Structure 1
Amino acid sequence: MATANDIFDEFLNDNGHDVEQQTWEEDYNKKRCPECGGLHEMSAVECSVCGWVPE
């Protein structure tokens, strides 16, 4: 049975919104923030440029 979150995610997806959870991108031996593109050490848990935190 679909939950309210599933229905809401489907609605957003159908209307052109990205509903996938974002995570760090990897660039060689660095983490790249998906929001601003800032590069960080692999141990980073928060973007020091824009404050983004993975969900």
Structure 2
Amino acid sequence: MATANDDIFDQFLTERGHATEAPSWEQDYNKKRCPDCGGLHEMSADACTVCGWQP
């Protein structure tokens, strides 16, 4: 659960160009794309087989 302090901190970071959302898979047509290396995987993938990234 987010608190008021979390919201203020997120706003501070966002104003300075930092991402405050948890990283997640990107979608490319019917594939998952790793946000770190750009590797394409099946929709059932739990981890990137190229760089090892996990959400």
- Which bin holds the TM-score, normalised by the shorter protein? 0.7 to 0.9
Quote how far apart the aligned CAs of 1:43 are. 0.5
3-state SS of the aligned residue for 1:9? Answer: helix
Give the corresponding residue for 2:47. 46
Give the corresponding residue for 2:17. 16
Structure 2 gap ranges (5+): none
What amino acid is the match of 2:26?
E
What amino acid is the match of 1:7?
I
- Superposition RMSD in Å: 1.6
What percentage of aligned pairs have identical amino acids? 64
Quote how far apart the aligned CAs of 1:39 are. 0.7
Quick one: distance in 2 between partners of 1:53 and 1:5? 24
Greater relative contact order (Cα < 8 A, sep 6+) = 1
Following TM superposition, the consecutive aligned residue runs of length 4 or more in structure 1 with deviations greater than 2 angstroms are none
TM-score (norm 2): 0.73
